[in-house]
Amino acid sequence: MTGLKMKMDELAEKIIKGEKLALARGITIIENNRKGKEELVAKLYPEAGRAHRIGIAGPPGVGKSTTTFRIASAFSKTDKCVGIVAVDPTSPFTGGALLGDRIRMNELFNDPGVFIRSMATRGSMGGLAVAATEAGDVLDASGKDVVIFETVGIGQSELDIAKACDTVVLILAPESGDGVQAMKAGFMEIADIFAVNKSDREGADKAVLEIQNVLSLHGDVDWTIPVLQTTATTNSGIDDLIAKIGEHYDFLKETGLLDRRRQDQFTDRVKSVVKKLISSAFWTDEREVKLEELVRSNPEKLRSPYRIAHKLTESFLQK
Ligand X SMILES: Nc1nc2c(ncn2[C@@H]2O[C@H](COP(=O)(O)OP(=O)(O)OP(=O)(O)O)[C@@H](O)[C@H]2O)c(=O)[nH]1
By the criterion CB under 6 A, which residues form the site for ligand X? 60-66, 88, 90-92, 97-98, 101, 152, 197-198, 200-201, 231-233
Least separation in angstroms between CB 92 and ligand X: 5
Q: Which amino acid is at 121?
A: T
**C-alpha dist (Å) from residue 150 to 19, 22, 129, 253:** 23, 22, 12, 23
CB 31 within 8 A of CB 119: yes
* Minimum gap (Å) between residue 53 Cβ and ligand X: 19
Answer positive or negative: Cα dihedral of 132, 133, 139, 142.
negative
In terms of CB distance, is 91 or 176 closer to Mg ion? 91
Q: What is the Cα–Cα distance from 172 to 181, expressed in whole angstroms?
A: 11
- Cβ–Cβ under 8 Å, residues 68 and 97: no
The pattern of x and - marking residues 17 through 56 that bind Mg ion according to CB under 5 A reads ----------------------------------------
- The rounded distance, in Å, linking the Cα atoms of 185 and 29 is 31
91 near Mg ion (CB under 5 A): yes
Identity at 8, one-letter amino acid code: M
Alpha carbon 182 to its chain centroid, in Å, reads 16
- SS3 state at 149: strand
Cβ distance to ligand X smaller for residue 76 or 229: 229
Q: Pick between residue 65 and residue 133 the one whose CB is nearest to Mg ion.
A: 65
- The amino acid at 142: S
Partner that binds at residue 63, options ligand X, Mg ion, none, CB closer than 5 to 8 Å by kind: ligand X
Shortest distance, position 197 Cβ to ligand X, whole Å: 5
Please tell me whether residue 65 binds Mg ion under the rule CB under 5 A: yes
Instruction: Give the CB-nearest residue to ligand X.
Output: 63
Q: Choosing among Mg ion, ligand X, none, which partner's interface includes residue 229 (Cβ < 5 to 8 Å by kind)? A: none
Q: Provide the binding-site residues for Mg ion, judged by CB under 5 A.
A: 64-65, 91
